[in-house]
Chain A
Amino acid sequence: MGCEIVTVSADTQFVHLAWQREEKELANVQFHMGADRNGDLAKQFGIWNGGFALRGAYLIAPDGKLMTSEVNFLNLGRNIDEILRKFKANIYLGKKTTEGCPSKWKDEGDATLKPGPEMVGRVHEALHKK
């Protein structure tokens, strides 16, 4: 799909193996399981919390630019559908550079916004035009 998914924790690759083999929820995963043993990578994103990484998700474009960042505390999981939505929006916006994807945008074909003088105070009309 054009996106490599890399899960990252401070565990070793050996523990990653054991976890993936043991946990049925992970039986069919296809992603890379990265070992950030000293938190060097987590520290660059400011989410290293005394030996553990917070639940951070970062979307990096093919040109190396960080496009999306989301961090939850240790006790709250992330919604992968929302991350997928942001990924799709980034792909779309890469092609349509004059548009913006509003919060309810889900997929190509949904209403987008074209910022400009006509839109000032008229976002409602732009979003609900038929």
Chain B
Amino acid sequence: MPPLVSEPQFQDAFSIQSMSELPLIQVGQQVPDFTLTTYEPKTKGFGSYNLAEAKKNGKWTLLFFYPADFTFV
């Protein structure tokens, strides 16, 4: 596995603080609606995921972020 942290394009944790101008979503707060373009392995097609729609269907949503495809999750 490549040494992820030492690669130059990864900034250190401090730089995250300085770039956050918009208010961050905290636990207990409402997540604003969003739509993501998706690939859907189930149907092997492209689609989209919309939070408002999930809410309408009474679904929970787990957002699972990771740095990039072809890395481990």
A41 at interface, CB cutoff 8 A: yes
By size class, the interface of chain B is 35 or more
CA distance A15 to B37 in the complex (A): 12
Contact of A92 with B by CB under 8 A? no
Evaluate contact between A45 and B67: CB separation under 8 angstroms.
no
Contacts of A68 in B (CB 8 A): 27
> Which size class do A's interface residues fall under?
35 or more
Binary contact readout B17-40 vs A (1 if CB under 8 angstroms, 0 otherwise): 001101011111111111011111
Question: Is B60 touching A2 in the complex (CB atoms < 8 A)?
Answer: yes
Contact A50–B38 (Cβ < 8 Å): no
Contact in complex: B20, A46 (CB < 8 Å): yes
CB distance from B3 to the nearest CB of A (A): 8
0/1 string, A2-16, CB within 8 A of B gives 1: 111111111101111
Residues of chain A contacted by B36 (CB below 8 angstroms): 6, 8, 32, 34-36, 41
Asked whether, in the complex, the Cβ of A2 is within 8 Å of the Cβ of B22, the reply is no
Residues of A within 8 A of B47 (CB): 32
- Decide: A51 near B24, CB < 8 A? Known: A3-B60, A64-B30: no
Q: Is the CB of A43 within 8 A of B40?
A: no
Are the C-beta atoms of A43 and B22 separated by less than 8 Å? yes
**A32 cross-chain contacts in B, Cβ below 8 A:** 36, 38-40, 47, 49
- With A32-B38, A68-B27 known as contacts, the answer to whether A7 contacts B64 (CB < 8 A) is yes
Within the assembled complex, what's the spacing in Å between the Cα atoms of A17 and B54?
23
